[in-house]
């Protein structure tokens, strides 16, 4: 048995080198204006401030010394290989959205596959409901990528975003992530009623309006239609509505009552709400609609790694490269392919020749290419792609290698005066 992990590192380098020798990375738009950066297996040094005249020269560099991680800048520079930002000459930048399953609520209780499924739902919402529908970016300008590990990236290459400053990008992110106050959409007004008497009126945005105001009204109108069509007893509907939206029981009862009766009358009340006039029943007021809007805002808002999107000089993982923590490919996607895309099958890029590894006691079951692996501690034989995956997750070594010894314990500090 050899001591240390030398063979394991050599194996990873050889596996990545073989992949890069056979596959060229798809060059990003403005290739010669992009800064590139690499991190290597078993090295902490980050090699950056690199520019390449052609994709062929990038490939030669990567094959010569295969990186564990390959990045390129979201930004375009006059001199991408200059060593200071001032010397680089910033020209513009793509708008990047990064969704990482690690940040999902409850991610710590999900399996790897469950995390990837959940984050894809968030990604589809971002693409369809915000970047395409609300912000109007064309599909050809949305470059979608599975990151190769725990999430997805979207590179927005619409020419209109290229010159956006960091604060401007922050405004886009705030819109997508729903950083709005629902109070600004629900107004309690005094209006002139019959015979000139002042009346209180609840007004909301019309359903045809753009932005969050119209979006929340449309969602609320659909909600009201659902309540009206619900065949359960009124008491059950009111209780469910109160629990779902935090509307008080009395207000929930009044709202349900407003949605009962003749279909024509109910339809007129809902149509009034769609037009922005929310006076549909006594006991249903501004507070009711603030609760409804808050509920739908939380349900509909988008989600992303916010600092990434506002950063005009960010390095992002290069599409087509292997991820140094999984061995999976950062896979470019189209919107048509996204719904059916299975990263645990389609992002597997390495071969299936058999490799002998020694799994650690911490090794966990995983699934790749439709095959479930249940590694037990000690020697076993796995397909190359599974062996690399387990090694990069720090749960195995090449058979015969040994993990490094843990650092020595630091001596306990000398006792000093004071109380515990």
Provide the annotated active-site residues.
Answer: 98, 100, 305
Q: What is d(CA 60, CA 45) in angstroms, rounded to the nearest whole number?
A: 20
What's the Cα-to-Cα distance from 182 to each of 74, 288, 301, 403, rounded to whole Å?
Answer: 34, 12, 13, 55
- Alpha carbons 165 and 154: distance in angstroms, whole number: 18
What distance in Å separates the CA atoms of residue 343 and residue 168, rounded to the nearest whole number? 33
Strand spans (E) along 123-236: 142-146, 151-156, 187-192, 198-203
Query: Rounded distance, CA 182 to CA 295, Å?
Result: 10
Which residue reads 């549909």 in tokens? 280
- DSSP for 294-323, written as a single string: HHHHHHH-----HHHHH-TT-EEEPTTPBP
Closest CA to 337 of 143, 115, 167: 143
Q: Which of 37, 79, 117 is nearest to 316 (CA)?
A: 37
Query: How many residues does the structure list for the chain?
Result: 420
DSSP state at residue 129? I
Q: What separation, in Å, do the N-terminal and C-terminal C-alpha atoms of the chain show?
A: 48
Q: What are phi and psi of 183, to 5 degrees?
A: -60, -30
């Amino acid at each position: 048995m050899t001591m240390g992990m030398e063979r394991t590192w050599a194996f990873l380098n050889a596996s990545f080198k073989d992949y890069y020798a056979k596959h060229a990375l798809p060059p990003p738009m403005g290739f010669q204006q992009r800064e590139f950066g690499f991190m290597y297996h078993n090295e902490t040094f980050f090699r950056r401030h690199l520019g390449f005249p052609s994709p062929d020269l990038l490939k030669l560099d990567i094959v010569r010394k295969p990186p564990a991680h390959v990045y390129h800048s979201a930004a375009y520079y006059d001199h991408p290989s200059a060593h200071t930002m001032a010397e680089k000459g910033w020209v513009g930048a793509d708008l990047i959205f990064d969704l990482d399953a690690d940040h999902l609520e409850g991610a710590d209780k999900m399996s790897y596959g469950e995390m990837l499924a959940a984050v894809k739902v968030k990604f589809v919402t971002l693409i369809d409901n915000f970047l395409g529908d609300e912000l109007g970016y064309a599909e050809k300008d949305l470059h979608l990528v599975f990151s190769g590990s725990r999430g997805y990236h979207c590179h927005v290459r619409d020419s209109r975003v290229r010159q956006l400053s960091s604060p401007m990008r922050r405004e886009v992110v705030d819109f997508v992530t729903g950083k709005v106050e629902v109070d600004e959409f629900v107004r309690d007004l005094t209006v002139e009623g019959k015979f000139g008497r002042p009346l209180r009126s609840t007004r909301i945005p019309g359903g045809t309006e753009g932005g969050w105001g119209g979006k929340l009204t449309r969602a609320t109108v659909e909600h009201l239609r659902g309540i009206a069509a619900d065949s359960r007893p009124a008491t059950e509907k009111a209780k469910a509505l109160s629990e779902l939206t935090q509307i008080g029981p009395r207000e929930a009862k009044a709202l349900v009552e407003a949605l009962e009766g003749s279909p024509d009358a109910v339809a007129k009340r809902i149509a009034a709400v769609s037009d922005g006039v929310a006076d549909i029943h006594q006991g249903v007021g501004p507070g009711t609609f603030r609760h409804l809007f808050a509920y739908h805002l939380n349900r509909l808002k988008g989600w992303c790694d916010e600092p990434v999107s506002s950063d005009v000089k960010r390095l992002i993982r290069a599409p087509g490269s292997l991820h140094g923590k999984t061995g999976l490919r950062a896979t470019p996607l189209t919107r048509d392919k996204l719904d059916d895309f299975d990263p645990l099958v389609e992002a597997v890029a390495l071969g299936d020749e058999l490799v002998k590894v020694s799994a650690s006691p911490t090794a966990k079951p995983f699934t790749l290419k439709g095959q479930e692996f249940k590694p037990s501690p000690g020697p076993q034989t796995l397909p190359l792609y599974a062996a690399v995956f387990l090694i990069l997750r720090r749960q195995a070594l090449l058979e015969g290698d040994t993990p490094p010894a843990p650092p020595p314990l630091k001596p306990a500090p000398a006792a000093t005066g004071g109380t515990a």
